[in-house]
A and B are shown apart, each in its own frame.
Chain A
């Protein structure tokens, strides 16, 4: 097959941004981010197995400002991918394809992911982790 330099779909620059495409793009982006984040979970397990010194090194990074920023982002990415994943499973089963439902469920996922993230970090604060 000859490789051509024709422009390839999707032509993102000619579309008006709408919730349907944003949730689809963000689902992929959060999936990629979570795959990378899973590597850090494995790093944590390896540090835990290696002993107290490596573990305290790991928790020091996790508790630093960049570690906490990453963990907040990780929480939101997981919440979004989880909720949007449930939406995809329901769509696979044939539900929620009417345009108004599709748009409403998209916004439900966006708002729900932020709410879930806040719940997790409020729970952490309530446990006195940051005290």
Chain B
């Protein structure tokens, strides 16, 4: 053991998740939702093209089909999750005043969660025929 090793404290290595209290979770979830949305957004685009010009009953019956209802629900969840993560980074990069940044982050989270819940509520209501 040389001198520099003896003088080195074990705390040079981060324990657990380190002082930042979080790791690569944000990065990974952003990529996982991106891959999900790669397929789901193409599906939604195709669905919209197929349903364009159709009447209310047809569109409602299509969305009420279990396959479409589940895929649309997955799209709504992935889209607003991905949106929140992306907007979070934009705010972190460009809003430099601490108070304004915190307010913006909360607002983005609230809007994304509410919109996702509203979308899911509508899909369930349509699928249940209520």
Contact = CB atoms under 8 A, between A and B. Distances in A.
* Among A49, A120, A128: residue with most chain B CB under 10 A: A49
A47 B83 CA distance: 22
B118 A42 contact: yes
Interface residues of A, number: 33
Contacts of A39: 111, 115
Interface of B: 31, 34-35, 37-38, 41-42, 44-45, 49-50, 52-53, 56-57, 59-60, 63, 72, 76, 79-80, 83, 86-87, 90, 96-97, 111-112, 115-116, 118-119, 121-123, 125-126
A45 B119 contact: yes
A38 interface: yes
Q: Name B's interface SS.
A: helix
A129 B52 contact: yes
B38 A3 contact: no
A46 B80 contact: no
Interface in A49-89: 49, 51-52, 55-56, 75, 78, 82, 85-86, 88-89
